[in-house]
Amino acid sequence: MNARLDDYATAELTSLESEASLVGALLLDNAAFDRISDALRPEHFSSDTHRTVFNEIARQLSTGKPADVVTVFSGLNNEIELSELNALAQYVPSGANIRRHAELVIERYKARQLAAVSREVYELAHDNHRSIEERVEAAQGQLARLIDDSPRDEWIGAHEGMLKHTQVLEDRAEGKIKSWPTGLCDLDDYLEGGLRPGSLVVLGARPSHGKTAMGMSIGLHMASSYSVALMSMEMPHRDVRDRMTAILGRVSLSSVIRPNKGEGLAWDRVLEGAELARSLNFYVTDQSGLNINQVRAKARNLRRLHGLNVLVVDYIGLMTGLDSKQSRAYQIEEVTKGLKSLAKELDICVIALAQLNRNIEQRMNRRPMLSDFRDSGSIEQDADIVFGLHREVVDKPDLGDTWKVHADLCILKNRQGRTGQINLHYAGEQTRFSSWSGPAPSHAVPSKAKRGYEEFE
């Protein structure tokens, strides 16, 4: 970066007058702190002196003690001259305009951050050691951090909020606002009609129990009416298309992988499945090892180009953290919080698949519980709905034919509804889940439903 740009960034993208006015107002009127503390942070200050004084004022007020020139001077152990503090305190007569000063300080901070991102993007453009796709995604990630750091809306009062929500209730009653059916009737009943925008749904299972098949079965059903995307970090693009053909054509996956035109019915179903797949709003990317910024950038781009209602992520454990030095539990928390934030930002439903702990195999009853999710703390906290998928026949292959097509879906958390268990039909050769009909295997009767929202406020 040349010297001229440096000069511009320091001279034009700061507001030392607003910073001094703000800190001076706080020294005179501690009560003004509550009017700006929700938005203002120490890093927003460009001046080290102003930042240090603001930090000390905030520290003293957090202990319940008043902060003035003398106490701040004492607390800083002579780090800043008393004359400087006196000058700041005399800079403004009161804290009446403190909110506007804070807004100016934050605006200039954002401008400096934008300038910094611009410099980084410029350097990315000249980084020939990375592919152009990687450079574009990195640039999008930098800009995404600026957007995510923007202040959120203010509090909304009950009167104003309920005026708007009453219209939402009326629209629901008139069928104008609908949930998105999954195609599994018993599940939709638990979900009060289906999935909803803004929600994070986590579906967990052990290997070979069908979590990818379940995610695709739901996604493909919804893609006939909505725009659905699958981020497949485990299977390559061609394998995903094979499964789509098998699921939609209701034909064995082997008939898709090794088709034989001489097998009339099977071949017809392969062609039918492929034709149905072409008609759906179903988008696939098979890039592996994505981090949350890359997922966010890809989702935003797809939404801009084609629209997006449902995003299926396969699966959380294959995503990478932004900082490889952090613990895996921290990285998973970063992912789940990011996915929930993405669902709210884009007003979509995110279905994130997850691997369950191996410890479950040490139990007699291996039906999933919330604690079985790897690094489950953040999943329990961030997800609106948590499913656990279980197929008894995987552990007991000698069970009868009914068990071979049976699966349990445990609804472990449902923020807006009931928890419980439902039966599903699994056509393994087609990798397809559907609603169960007829009597269930003897000890696979759904458990009594429980209200979920009391437990997960």
pLDDT average per 10 residues of sequence, the chain (457 residues): 42 82 87 79 88 88 83 86 83 69 87 86 86 80 66 61 72 68 88 89 87 91 92 88 87 82 77 87 88 83 89 88 77 86 91 85 78 73 89 78 83 87 86 82 54 39
Q: What are the tokens at 343?
A: 């669902």
Counts of helices then strands in the chain (DSSP H, E):
18, 10
Q: Residue 136: which of 120, 154, 159 has the closest Cα?
A: 120
- The secondary structure of 353-391 as a DSSP string is EEEBPGGGGGSSS----GGGBTTHHHHHHH-SEEEEEE-
Element (H, E) at 312: strand 310-314
- Burial of residue 88 (CB within 10 Å: 0-12, 13-18, 19+) is buried
Alpha-carbon gap, residue 426 to 436, rounded angstroms: 9
Alpha-carbon gap, residue 354 to 219, rounded angstroms: 16
Q: For residue 200, what pLDDT is reported?
A: 94
Question: For residue 129, what is the DSSP state?
Answer: T
> Given CA atoms 312, 317, 323, 329 in this order, what sign does their dihedral have?
positive
Alpha-carbon gap, residue 409 to 228, rounded angstroms: 22
Q: For residue 4, what pLDDT is reported?
A: 38
Q: For residue 172, what pLDDT is reported?
A: 62
Q: For residue 228, what pLDDT is reported?
A: 94
Apex 285 CA angle, 279 and 287, nearest 5: 165
Measured from the Cβ of residue 306, the count of other Cβ atoms closer than 10 Å reads: 11
Pick the CATH number of 3-148 from 1.10.3210.10, 1.10.730.10, 1.10.3720.10, 1.10.860.10: 1.10.860.10
Q: For residue 136, what pLDDT is reported?
A: 82
Residues 202/373, Cβ–Cβ less than 8 Å: yes
Q: What are the tokens at 258?
A: 């090794």
Q: For residue 454, what pLDDT is reported?
A: 37
Does the model's pTM come out above 0.85?
no
| Sole residue written with tokens 């397809």 | 432
Residues 212/269, Cβ–Cβ less than 8 Å: no
Measured from the Cβ of residue 31, the count of other Cβ atoms closer than 10 Å reads: 9
Q: For residue 92, what pLDDT is reported?
A: 66
Q: Residue 143: which of 296, 13, 345 has the closest Cα?
A: 296
In DSSP terms, which residues pair with 432 in a beta bridge?
A: 427
Q: For residue 408, what pLDDT is reported?
A: 86
Q: What are the tokens at 175?
A: 């069928």
- Burial of residue 331 (CB within 10 Å: 0-12, 13-18, 19+) is buried
Question: What is the amino acid identity at position 40?
Answer: L
Compute the CA torsion angle 213, 217, 223, 225 (nearest 10 deg).
-170
Residues 205/236, Cβ–Cβ less than 8 Å: no
Pick the CATH number of 178-451 from 3.90.1150.10, 3.40.50.150, 3.40.50.300, 3.40.640.10: 3.40.50.300
Alpha-carbon gap, residue 389 to 367, rounded angstroms: 8
Buried b (16+ CB within 10 A) or exposed e, 368-390: bbbebbbbbebbbebbbbbbbbb
User: How far is the first Cα of the chain from the last one, in angstroms, to the nearest whole number?
Assistant: 50
Question: What is the amino acid identity at position 426?
Answer: Y
Q: Alpha carbon 180 to chain centroid distance?
A: 19
Q: For residue 178, what pLDDT is reported?
A: 67
- Burial of residue 202 (CB within 10 Å: 0-12, 13-18, 19+) is buried
Q: For residue 199, what pLDDT is reported?
A: 92
Give CATH 1.10.860.10 domain extents, the chain: 3-148
Q: Kindly list the distances between the CA atom of residue 36 and the CA atoms of 41, 56, 63, in Å, as whole numbers in the listed order.
A: 9, 15, 18
Give CATH 3.40.50.300 domain extents, the chain: 178-451
Q: Residue 216: which of 202, 229, 225, 197 has the closest Cα?
A: 229
Backbone angles phi, psi at 395, to 5 degrees: -85, -25
SS3 299: helix
Q: For residue 6, what pLDDT is reported?
A: 41
Alpha-carbon gap, residue 228 to 134, rounded angstroms: 24
Q: For residue 262, what pLDDT is reported?
A: 64
Q: For residue 374, what pLDDT is reported?
A: 64
Q: Residue 209: which of 387, 400, 26 has the closest Cα?
A: 387
